[in-house]
A and B are shown apart, each in its own frame.
Chain A
Amino acid sequence: MTAPEHPLLARRLVVVTGKGGTGKTSVVAALALAAARRGRRVCVVEMGLDAEVPDLFDPGGPPPGGRGREVHPGITALRIEPYEALAEYLGLQIGGRRVVELVLRNKAFRQLMDAAPGWRELITLGKVWHLEQMRDGDRPRWDLLVVDAPATGHGLTFLDVPRVAVAAVRMGPLRRHAGWVEQMIRDTRRTVLLPVALAEELPARETAELVERAREDVGVAVDRVVVNAVAPAPFPDDLPDLDRRLARIPDDAVLPGLPRPATLAACATHLRERRELNEHHLEAIARATGLPVIALPLLPEGVRDADDLIHLAQPLEALEDAA
C-alpha cells in the first residue's frame, strides 16, 4: 500500500461519504478520534435528522445542536439544521434580527424554501466554510473538520451545489459566497473527499463511480478509500481449508457437546466464503479506483462506545504514520 502524498489529517476538511449501510458515521467518529489522539482540535459536523456521532462517544448524552458539544476530549460535535443556518446567514446579510424573524416565520417563505432544491446543501456548506474560517487569535479554531455527508449520489450532489449555484445565479452576494465555498471544496490541500465502501459488489461498484465523478465533475480531491466491516480471516493461515476438512468428517461421528459435523462445516464454509468475497472486492476497489484502500475490521457487535471506535481509529492512524 503506497502512502498518499498528502496526509489525511493535515487537511482542514474531510468530507466522508458512502452508501447507506456502509457505517459511514462510525468512520466519521473514528477519524475524529484518530485526529484527536494526535492532538488536533476536531469538529464533527452532521446534517441528518438526528445527530448520531455524540451517541457513539457518549451514549445517552444531550443532543449537540447547532452550537456543538464536546463529546470526547478534543472532539466537538455539532449538527447543522438548514433553517437555523439560514437564519444565521440572513442575520449576517441583512442585519436586523426582527426582519430575519419576520422572513423566516412567513408562511409563503417556508413554502418556497420547503420545495426549493439546493439551498440546504449550500447553506450547510456555507456554515462549514464559516467554521473553517473561524480563528482563535492567530490559529484556526478547528484544526480539522470532519463532515458526515449524505449517502453517495446525494453526497456528490451535495458538494456540487456551490458550483451549480455559481452557474445559476448571475450576480449578487449569494453568487460571491457560493464562489468562496466552491473554492474551498476544490482546494486539494484543504479539502478531501473520503469515500466509505463495503467489500461487496454494489458498494464497490458505486465507489468506483463516485471517485470518477468526484474528480471529473466536482473537482474535489479523493486520495484514499476506506473499506469498512471487512470480515477477518476465519482460520489460522496454515489451515485455510479447515471448513473442507470439517466437511469430510462423517455425520455420524460423535462430538460430545458440539453441533453436528455438517453444521460445523456449514458455519466454517460461510465464514470462509464471506472472507473471500470481501478480499475479492477489496482488490476490485483498489484496482478500479487506483487508490490506496484502508480496510477497517468488522466489529461483531457494531460500535457501542469509544473503546470500540479505537479499533477503527487505529488503521486510520497507521496510514497517517506511514505517510
Chain B
Amino acid sequence: MSTTIAELVGERRVVACLGAGGVGKTTVAAAVALEGARRGRRAVVITIDPAKRLADALGVAELDNNPRPLSPARLAELGVTGGGALSAMMLDMKRTFDELVERFAPDAETRDRILANPIYAHVSDALAGSAEYSAMEKVYELAESRDFDLIVVDTPPSQHALDFLDAPQRLLEFLDSRIVQLLVHPAFAAGRFGARFFQRGTHRVLQVLERVSGVGFLEDLSDFLLAFEGMSEGFRERAREVRSLLLGPQAGFVLVSGPSRRAIADAGRFFDRLRGGGVPVAGMVFNRVRTWPEGGEPPERIPESDEDAALAALARALAAADGADFPAERAARAAVEAVRGYASAVRRDREATAQLVERTRAGGRFVVQVPEFSRDVHDLAGLAAVAGVLFAESHDG
C-alpha cells in the first residue's frame, strides 16, 4: 500500500524525520508541520537545533523546552487559516531529564539528591542516547497531552539509523544491569552465593575500574545509580509506550538526504537498517537537488549540434538584445560554458540519487525532490517555498 507525503501529513499522529546531519532535516520537519497546519490540523514541530532565523521565524528563539504557538499574524502570513495551528519547540536535553527526575522521583529527598549529584550534572545530557531519549520522551508527553493532532519530530543526527528508537531501551537495560546492581548494593552482591556463583567476573571488573578511576568516582557513580533505582519502572513504562506509538499505524518515518555521494551512502545505510529493524519508512525526501529548469533531464550535450553555429546564433541574439558595444561572442561562449556546467551538475545529482529513488519507490514509498534554492530557506518565505515543493509533487503522484 502506498502512502503519499500529503496523506502522511493529513492523517498520521506522529511524523519523524530521520537522516544524517547537514541534510536539511529541520527545514523539512518544519515544512511538514506547516503543511499540517494548513490542512487544519493542530501541529507541533520539535526541533533539535534550528537555524537562528528559522527559530526566530517560528517564534522559538527562546529555549524553554515547551511548545510555543505561532501568532495568528505569523500563521496568516504562512497561509494557515481555519482551524489549523502551528507550535514549535526546541528540545533541551538537560531540562527534559530534570523534568523526568522531578516526575518519577519517589520523594523530594531523592529528587534533590539526583539533581545535586556531580555525575548527574555532567552526565544527564551526555549519557549515550540521552538526546534520543529526551526527544522520544517529548513525543510521548505531547502525544499524551492531546493538545496536538500532528507531532513532527526532527531527530538528533546520529550514525545509526535506529538510535532514535533503540537508545531508550539501551538506557533502561543499563540501569537494570548486573553491574549497576552491584554498584548500588555492593554489600548484597558481595554475599556468599552471589559473589561466588555469578559475580566473580563482575567483581574483578569493579576492582579494575576502581584501580583506574580512583575510589571517589565509583562512590559518586554508585550514589547516582542508587538514586535512579526507584525510578526505572516509570521510565520503562514510558519508553515502551512511545516505542509502540512510533512503530504503530499512527506514525510515519521520513528519511531525508542530500544529493552528495556521502549523503546518499549514509541514507542508503539508514534505509537498510530501518527496514532490517522493522521500522516502516513512509518515504524519502531528497533535499537540495540541482534540477533542470524545464524539468526532466538536461540534454546530453550542449549544444546538441554544430557548436560554432550555436555560438554564433546566441551571440547575435545577445547583441540584438543588448546593442553592439558588448563582447557578444565571448559572452555567448561564457554562457554556454556555464550552462553546460550546470547541466552536468544536474545529471550528476540524478545519477547519484537514481538507485536510491528506485529502491524507495519499489516498496510503494513516496519520493520527493526539493530543488537547491538560490537563497537561504530559513525564514517564513523560504519555509513556505519548501512546503510548496514538498506538497506540489505529491499531488502529481
How far, in angstroms, from A287 to B345 measured CA to CA in the complex?
31
Contact A93 B293 (CB under 8 A): no
How far, in angstroms, from A246 to B333 measured CA to CA in the complex?
12
Given A111-B174, A258-B313, A205 and B52 contact (CB-CB distance below 8 Å): yes
Set of chain B residues within 8 Å of A262, measured between Cβ atoms: 293
Residue A130 lies at the interface, judged by CB distance under 8 Å to chain B: no
A-B contact pairs, 12 of them (CB 8 A): A19-B22, A21-B22, A21-B23, A90-B208, A205-B51, A239-B334, A248-B322, A249-B317, A262-B293, A267-B343, A270-B342, A270-B374
Residue A3 lies at the interface, judged by CB distance under 8 Å to chain B: no
Q: Among residues 211 to 227 in chain B, which have CB atoms less than 8 Å away from a CB atom of chain A?
A: 211-217, 220
Residue B113 lies at the interface, judged by CB distance under 8 Å to chain A: no
Residue A235 lies at the interface, judged by CB distance under 8 Å to chain B: yes
Query: Of B128, B182, B317, B326, which contacts A117 at CB under 8 A?
Result: B128
Query: Which residues of A are interface residues toward B (Cβ below 8 A)?
Result: 19-22, 25, 48-49, 90, 93-94, 99, 102-103, 106-109, 111-112, 114-118, 151, 153, 157, 164, 167-175, 200-203, 205, 234-236, 238-239, 242, 245-246, 248-250, 253-264, 266-271, 273-274, 277, 300-302
Contact B202 A108 (CB under 8 A): yes
Residue B396 lies at the interface, judged by CB distance under 8 Å to chain A: no
Set of chain B residues within 8 Å of A173, measured between Cβ atoms: 211-212, 214
Query: Of A99, A116, A238, A256, which contacts B306 at CB under 8 A?
Result: A256
Set of chain A residues within 8 Å of B204, measured between Cβ atoms: 99, 102-103, 106
Which residue of the partner chain B has the closest CB to A300?
B345
Set of chain A residues within 8 Å of B220, measured between Cβ atoms: 168
Contact B179 A109 (CB under 8 A): yes
Contact B20 A21 (CB under 8 A): yes
Query: Which residues of B are interface residues toward A (Cβ below 8 A)?
Result: 20-23, 49, 51-53, 118-119, 122-123, 126-130, 157, 159, 170-171, 173-174, 177-180, 182, 201-202, 204-205, 208, 211-217, 220, 258, 260-263, 292-294, 298-299, 302-307, 309-310, 313-314, 317-318, 320-322, 326-327, 330-331, 334-336, 338-339, 341-345, 348, 372, 374-376, 378
Set of chain A residues within 8 Å of B215, measured between Cβ atoms: 170-172
Given A114-B170, A168-B217, A246 and B318 contact (CB-CB distance below 8 Å): yes
Given A169-B216, A205-B52, A253-B317, A115 and B376 contact (CB-CB distance below 8 Å): no
Known: A239-B331, A263-B294. 15 other contacts (CB 8 A): A21-B258, A115-B170, A157-B126, A167-B122, A168-B217, A169-B214, A254-B313, A257-B310, A258-B310, A258-B314, A258-B336, A260-B294, A270-B342, A277-B374, A300-B348
Set of chain A residues within 8 Å of B338, measured between Cβ atoms: 234-235, 242, 267-268, 271
Contact A242 B173 (CB under 8 A): no
Query: Of A164, A205, A235, which contacts B122 at CB under 8 A?
Result: A164
Set of chain B residues within 8 Å of A270, measured between Cβ atoms: 293, 342, 372, 374
Given A19-B21, A106-B204, A111-B174, A264 and B335 contact (CB-CB distance below 8 Å): yes
Query: Of B21, B214, B320, B327, which contacts A151 at CB under 8 A?
Result: B21
Set of chain B residues within 8 Å of A169, measured between Cβ atoms: 213-214, 216-217
B95 to chain A, nearest CB (A): 17
Query: Of B214, B298, B309, B313, which contacts A171 at CB under 8 A?
Result: B214
Contact A20 B20 (CB under 8 A): yes
B225 to chain A, nearest CB (A): 10
Contact A108 B345 (CB under 8 A): no
Set of chain B residues within 8 Å of A102, measured between Cβ atoms: 201, 204
Contact B314 A255 (CB under 8 A): yes
Which residue of the partner chain A has the closest CB to B176?
A111
Query: Of B52, B119, B174, B327, which contacts A114 at CB under 8 A?
Result: B174
Query: Of A112, A117, A259, which contacts B339 at CB under 8 A?
Result: A259
Set of chain A residues within 8 Å of B327, measured between Cβ atoms: 238-239
Set of chain B residues within 8 Å of A48, measured between Cβ atoms: 159
Contact A108 B374 (CB under 8 A): no
Given A94-B211, A109-B179, A300 and B344 contact (CB-CB distance below 8 Å): yes
Contact A21 B21 (CB under 8 A): yes
Set of chain A residues within 8 Å of B171, measured between Cβ atoms: 115
Question: Which 5 A-B pairs have CB atoms at the shortest separation, nearest pair first?
Answer: A172-B214, A21-B22, A20-B21, A257-B303, A115-B174
Which residue of the partner chain B has the closest CB to A236?
B334
Set of chain A residues within 8 Å of B260, measured between Cβ atoms: 21, 302
Set of chain B residues within 8 Å of A258, measured between Cβ atoms: 302-304, 310, 313-314, 336
Set of chain A residues within 8 Å of B130, measured between Cβ atoms: 117
Q: Chain B CB within 10 Å — which of A167, A170, A261, A266 has the most? A: A170
Which residue of the partner chain A has the closest CB to B316?
A253
Given A99-B208, A102-B204, A257 and B304 contact (CB-CB distance below 8 Å): yes
Query: Of A90, A153, A245, which contacts B49 at CB under 8 A?
Result: A153
Which residue of the partner chain B has the closest CB to A18?
B22
B169 to chain A, nearest CB (A): 11
How far, in angstroms, from A40 to B150 measured CA to CA in the complex?
56
B331 to chain A, nearest CB (A): 5
Set of chain A residues within 8 Å of B216, measured between Cβ atoms: 169-172
Set of chain B residues within 8 Å of A248, measured between Cβ atoms: 321-322
